């Protein structure tokens, strides 16, 4: 019997049962074909808009399984994709007919509390890591949703609540184990294969399949000062102006993000405000509690909040606090822009859009980045945007497929309106699949070096189901 899979350069490739038997002999983890038990779960990603059917799924139990899968794809000329947590907004973890390397069984976490390091498997979710590290009162910067995968987050740069104090996720990456396009297993670090290591600090999954990461840890928690300030959206103009001032002079320990949305039915929000437009300040202080109370006082004094629920919370709890608003299976489309400042024009556009949200679950999220992450040079990592800045993420989210056109159009329209006020850069992890033309904006002056590394380690562009950095020859041909 033969199985038809998608070829690397289009078309199809026939793979026989004998070929699959040979692959099974080289691997310990499951191999799944359409119809097999576990196949549907393996192909399902966080964004409910994505419905793709890989031709073959390999679920590695170790690095040698990854090596076998990569060599199998290269030998047969197959399209290959990799899935960690499956959160990438464009669903680039999966492709129709491709060989999917599903890392979900590689969720080991080993913490060395004396060295303050953690070695984590590429299938780990952020919640897996937080639970193990917090047993020792340690953490490193990750994202804000506990079901996000560490692999995609790290390979795109990674930021979250403690980034201003401890840098980006990639700033805390010490080493990684990776399988390259030729099937070689390499341990990479600033001292070992430094160019490849550098490329993996923000260059996405373009350079190989990472099996594990080693991170530097910091004392954090077990409690931090965190919570929400909820205001009527009508107070937005003055609140955003004050937020702009407070954010740019805040201590590194303080992170404050703005969220504009319709109030969810949370118990601490008065019932008569449920479903009405609000502006929320999400606040985290990762230092001494008494110092934190002083640091957040200016934010808490703004306006007349509907709710103020800032207080001591477990770090793990805060890391998963927004999980109920980010459950898998909903339809999602994102647009993102970076701003070095919030101009009056930008503020006006954001508030106008927040008054006309296309769905109750849609939100405008405005994180502020700076502090330690802004003291790193732009070429130190593949992630280049090191200025203190605001990152707008239009988190358009809905359930009814009939609303697809309206929701996507809303996000695109707002992004277009504020593009002229933006820095021109974009966070690659916030880019949907239809933004291939923004790849140069994602990497800026680092793109030439990334292409050289791609050419050295993946000249045939085996790893292309991503926001693709083409090898130099392919890039020149396309220009």
Tokens of 248: 């740019």
Question: What separation in angstroms does the CA of 342 have from each of 244, 299, 421?
Answer: 7, 17, 9
Question: Which residue is listed with tokens 């047969």?
Answer: 76
pLDDT for 477 beyond 80? no
- Residue-wise pLDDT tens digits, 96-110: 999 999 999 999 999
CA 258 to CA 305: how far, in whole Å? 14
pLDDT for 233 beyond 80? yes
Closest-CA residue to 327 (of 449, 145, 122, 113)? 145
Average confidence score pLDDT of the chain: 95
Percent of the chain surpassing pLDDT 90: 95
pLDDT score of 375: 97
DSSP readout, 297-320? HHHHTSS--SEE--EEEEHHHHHT
How far is C-alpha 179 from the geometric centre of its chain's CA atoms?
Answer: 21
Q: Can you tell me the mean pLDDT for 315-326?
A: 93
Question: Which residue is listed with tokens 């405000």?
Answer: 273
pLDDT score of 220: 97
List of residues 6+ apart from 60 with CB closer than 8 A: 27, 28, 29, 66, 69, 101, 102, 103, 105, 106, 211
Tokens of 177: 């184990």
- Residue-wise pLDDT tens digits, 399-419: 999 999 999 999 999 999 999
List of residues 6+ apart from 54 with CB closer than 8 A: 42, 43, 81, 94, 95, 96, 97, 98, 99, 100
Confidence bin at 475 (pLDDT 50/70/90): low
pLDDT for 114 beyond 90? yes
DSSP readout, 437-472? GGHHHHHGGGHHHHHHHHHHH-TT----SSS----H
pLDDT score of 396: 97
Confidence bin at 474 (pLDDT 50/70/90): low
pLDDT score of 473: 73
- Residue-wise pLDDT tens digits, 370-398: 999 999 999 999 999 999 999 999 999 99
- Please tell me the number of Cα atoms within 13 Å of 322 on its side-chain side: 20
pLDDT for 479 beyond 60? no
Percent of the chain surpassing pLDDT 70: 99
Beta strand ranges found along 160-242 (DSSP E): 173-179, 185-188, 209-216, 218-219, 223-232
The domains found in the chain, sorted by start residue, are 2-102 (3.30.43.10), 109-219 (3.30.465.10), 223-436 (3.40.462.20)
pLDDT score of 476: 53
C-alpha dihedral sign at 28, 32, 38, 42:
positive
CA 118 to CA 287: how far, in whole Å? 22
CA 277 to CA 148: how far, in whole Å? 27
Q: Mark out the alpha helices in 236-358 (DSSP H runs).
A: 236-248, 289-300, 315-319, 344-354
Contact between 370 and 406 (Cβ < 8 Å)? no
Contact between 149 and 86 (Cβ < 8 Å)? yes
CB burial of residue 377 (10 Å; 0-12, 13-18, 19+): exposed
CA 423 to CA 337: how far, in whole Å? 8
- Residue-wise pLDDT tens digits, 296-316: 999 999 999 999 999 999 999
C-alpha dihedral sign at 329, 334, 339, 342:
negative
Angle between helices 63-76 and 17-26 in degrees, nearest 10: 150
Contact between 277 and 357 (Cβ < 8 Å)? yes
């Amino acid at each position: 019997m033969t199985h038809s899979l998608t070829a690397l350069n289009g078309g199809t490739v026939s793979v026989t049962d004998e070929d699959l038997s040979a692959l099974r002999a080289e691997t310990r983890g499951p191999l799944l074909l359409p119809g097999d038990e576990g196949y549907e779960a393996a192909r399902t990603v966080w964004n409910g808009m994505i419905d793709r059917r890989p031709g073959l799924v390999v679920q590695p139990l170790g690095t040698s399984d990854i090596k076998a899968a990569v060599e199998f794809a290269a030998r047969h000329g197959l399209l290959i994709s990799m899935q960690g947590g499956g959160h990438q907004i464009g669903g680039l973890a999966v492709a129709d007919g491709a060989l999917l390397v599903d890392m979900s069984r590689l969720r080991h976490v080993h913490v060395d509390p004396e060295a303050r390091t953690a070695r984590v498997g590429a299938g780990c979710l952020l919640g897996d890591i937080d639970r193990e590290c917090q047993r020792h009162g340690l953490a490193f910067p990750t994202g804000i949703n506990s079901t996000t995968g560490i692999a995609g987050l790290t390979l795109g740069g990674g930021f979250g609540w403690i980034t201003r104090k401890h840098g980006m996720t990639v700033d805390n990456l010490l080493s990684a184990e990776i399988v390259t396009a030729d099937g070689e297993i390499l341990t990479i670090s600033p001292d070992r294969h430094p160019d490849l290591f550098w490329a993996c600090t923000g260059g996405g999954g373009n350079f190989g399949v990472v099996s594990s990461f080693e991170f530097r840890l910091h004392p954090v928690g077990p409690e931090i000062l965190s919570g929400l300030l909820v205001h009527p959206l009508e107070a937005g103009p003055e609140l955003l102006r004050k937020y702009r001032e407070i954010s740019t002079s805040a201590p590194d320990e303080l992170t404050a993000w703005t969220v504009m949305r319709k109030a969810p039915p949370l118990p601490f929000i008065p019932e008569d405000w449920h479903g009405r437009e609000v502006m929320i300040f999400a606040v985290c202080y990762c230092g001494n509690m008494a110092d934190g109370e002083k640091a957040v006082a200016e934010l808490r004094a703004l306006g007349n909040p509907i709710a103020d629920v800032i207080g001591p919370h477990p770090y793990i709890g805060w890391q998963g606090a927004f999980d109920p608003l980010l459950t898998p299976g909903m339809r999602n489309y994102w647009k993102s822009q970076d701003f070095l400042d919030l101009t009056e024009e930008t503020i006006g556009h954001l508030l106008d859009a927040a008054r006309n949200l296309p769905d109750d679950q849609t939100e405008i999220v405005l994180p502020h980045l700076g502090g330690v992450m802004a003291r790193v040079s732009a070429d130190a990592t593949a992630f280049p945007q090191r200025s203190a800045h605001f990152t707008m993420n239009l988190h358009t989210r809905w359930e009814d497929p009939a609303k697809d056109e309206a929701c996507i159009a809303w996000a695109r329209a707002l992004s277009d309106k504020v593009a002229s006020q933006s820095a021109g850069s974009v966070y690659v992890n916030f880019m949907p699949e239809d933004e291939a033309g923004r790849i140069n904006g994602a990497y800026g002056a680092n793109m030439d070096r990334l292409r050289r590394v791609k050419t050295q380690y993946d000249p045939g562009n085996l790893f292309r189901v991503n926001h693709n950095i083409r090898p130099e020859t392919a890039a020149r041909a396309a220009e």
